[in-house]
């Protein structure tokens, strides 16, 4: 099923089915195993990629040449970099979660990358980027040149640029979008933060219910050791009860685990993704706003230009206008697509959340009912 290197003449831009099936620590780096298959073909590809390769792909997407209104695209956000890129306090908390909850981080990383690749390959413009093709199909990772930072990350640039963020828009549609983006981003981030906070708490609660289960188990063992044949049947019953109690507490512990997992995997994942996606939208809107400023500046300069410079200014203005229109055109489509997708994804997450929590609660009930029945049968 491993494909060799394919030539680029195969211009098939149909959708992909991408799965990130595995990830492992390889010394300092994290290596993902990515399997993909195009809808139109039967060939399945399997490649190994490091996070650097993903960053390179992202860079290629941002700098693709010859795409009209590229700046107007809301680029799917790059997933979090695995490993020690976390801030100190985050790392400590993560460590704590890892050691207590034993959540498999690598699964989260895989899922995050998988989601990113879905979003990229589902985008009608981005999927046409040859970098995508080579990322998914070529055995050898792509040759990376040094990534030039900053062309598209205007938001993180010089303070002078940031001033433009609040520049009033000429189009109501976009002004509204910029405003609602701000509030939505803030609330999404807050909610994502809260889910993370619960994740920290769940493992701790989990820890203490594990402790109880263990303590109860020890108790029961000690009691059982003391029971002889001639012993008081009350002793025997008591020992059995403690054993049952430790089983119940084990059920409680497993339930804690499952509930936390459900939250994390469904709503938690979605909120995390979309708080980044909101940022990506914000960046796109900012790019457009900067272009708007350029247009207005060009107009002003044209108005103030000396006659000999008029023609040059005219050209600049025309270029700015065209670019601005292209960006706005693309942006409008993108925004509508984005919100459709966002609502759909949110719905999916909410359904998965309630489905999984419902399932977990039902399973727990079944177990508890059983244990309660067994308890009642125990004679005291």
- Sheet-wide strand order for 16-26: 16-26, 29-38, 44-50
Closest to 118 measured CA to CA, from 348, 356, 352: 348
Q: How near is the Cβ of 362 to another protein at its closest, in Å?
A: 6
Q: Give the nearer residue to another protein in terms of CB position, either 121 or 195.
A: 195
Give me 159's structure tokens: 């303070």
Of 3 and 350, nearer to another protein (C-beta) is 350
Nearest distance from residue 290's CB to another protein, in Å?
A: 25
Closest approach, Cβ 287 to another protein, in A, equals 22
> In degrees to the nearest 10, what's the CA dihedral of 175, 179, 180, 186?
150
Of the pair 146, 376, the CB lying nearest another protein is at 376
CA nearest to 15, candidates 154, 133, 135, 167: 133
With beta carbons less than 8 A apart as the criterion, state whether 366 and 257 touch. Answer: no
Question: Using CB atoms within 10 A of its CB, is residue 152 exposed (0-12), middle (13-18) or buried (19+)?
Answer: buried
361: tokens are 């609660």
List CB contacts of 281: < 8 A, sequence separation 6 or more. Answer: 74, 181, 335, 338
By beta-carbon proximity to another protein, the closer residue of 215 and 319 is 215
d(CA 337, CA 339): 6
Cβ-contact 75, 286 below 8 angstroms: no
Find the shortest distance in angstroms from Cβ 32 to another protein: 31
CA distance 174 to 70: 17
Instruction: Using the structure block, give the residue that is written with the tokens 């990383």.
Output: 109
Least distance between another protein and beta carbon 318 (Å): 36
Contact positions toward another protein, by CB under 8 A?
Answer: 180, 183-184, 187-188, 190-191, 193-195, 197-198, 201-202, 204-205, 208-209, 211-212, 215-216, 218-219, 222-223, 226, 232-238, 241, 244-245, 248, 252, 255, 339, 343-344, 346-347, 350-351, 353-355, 357-358, 361-362, 364-365, 368-369, 371-372, 375-376, 378-380
Residue 197 has which token pair? 């906070």
Measure Cα distances from 320 to 98, 113, 225, 266 in Å: 51, 36, 86, 43
Least distance to another protein, CB of residue 114, Å? 22
Q: Cβ closer to another protein: 106 or 236? A: 236
Query: For 48, phi and psi rounded to 5 degrees?
Result: -115, 130
Measured from the CB atom, the residue of 54 and 216 that comes closer to another protein is 216
Q: Which is nearer to another protein, 68 or 360 (CB)?
A: 360
Minimal distance, residue 103 CB to another protein, in Å: 17
At residue 145, what are phi and psi to the nearest 5 degrees? -95, 165
Complex with another protein: residue 108 or 216, whichever CB lies closer = 216
Minimum CB separation of residue 170 from another protein in Å reads 22
């Amino acid at each position: 099923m491993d494909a060799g290197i394919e030539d680029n003449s195969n211009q098939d831009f149909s959708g992909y089915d991408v799965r990130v099936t595995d990830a492992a620590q390889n010394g300092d780096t994290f290596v993902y195993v990515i399997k993909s298959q195009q809808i139109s073909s039967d060939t399945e590809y399997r490649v190994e990629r490091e996070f650097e390769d993903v960053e390179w792909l992202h860079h290629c997407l941002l700098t693709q040449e010859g795409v009209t209104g590229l700046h107007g695209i809301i680029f799917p956000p790059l997933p979090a970099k695995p490993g020690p890129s976390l801030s100190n306090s985050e790392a400590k908390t993560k460590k704590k979660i890892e050691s207590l909850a034993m959540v498999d981080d690598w699964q989260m990383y895989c899922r995050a990358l998988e989601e990113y690749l879905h979003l990229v390959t589902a985008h009608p413009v981005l999927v046409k980027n040859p970098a995508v093709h080579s990322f998914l199909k070529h055995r050898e990772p792509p040759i990376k040149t040094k990534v030039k930072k900053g062309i598209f990350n205007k938001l993180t640039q010089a303070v002078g640029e940031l001033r433009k963020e609040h520049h009033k828009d000429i189009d109501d549609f976009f002004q509204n979008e910029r405003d609602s983006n701000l509030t939505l981003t803030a609330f999404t981030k807050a909610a994502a933060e809260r889910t993370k906070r619960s994740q920290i708490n769940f493992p701790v609660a989990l820890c203490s219910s594990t402790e109880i289960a263990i303590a109860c188990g020890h108790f029961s063992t000690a009691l059982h050791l003391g029971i002889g044949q001639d012993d008081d049947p009350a002793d025997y019953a008591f020992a059995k009860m403690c054993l049952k109690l430790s089983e119940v507490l084990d059920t409680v512990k497993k339930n804690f685990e499952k509930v936390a997992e459900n939250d994390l995997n469904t709503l938690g994942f979605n909120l995390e993704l979309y708080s980044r996606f909101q940022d990506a939208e914000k960046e796109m809107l900012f790019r457009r706003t900067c272009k708007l400023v350029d247009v207005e500046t060009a107009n002003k300069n044209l108005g103030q230009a000396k006659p000999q410079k008029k023609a040059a200014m005219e050209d600049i203005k025309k270029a700015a206008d065209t670019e601005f229109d292209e960006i706005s055109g693309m942006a409008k489509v993108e925004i509508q697509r984005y919100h459709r997708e966002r609502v759909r994804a949110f719905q999916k997450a909410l359904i998965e959340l309630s489905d999984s929590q419902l399932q977990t609660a039902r399973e727990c009930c079944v177990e508890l009912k059983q244990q309660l029945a067994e308890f009642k049968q125990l004679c005291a």
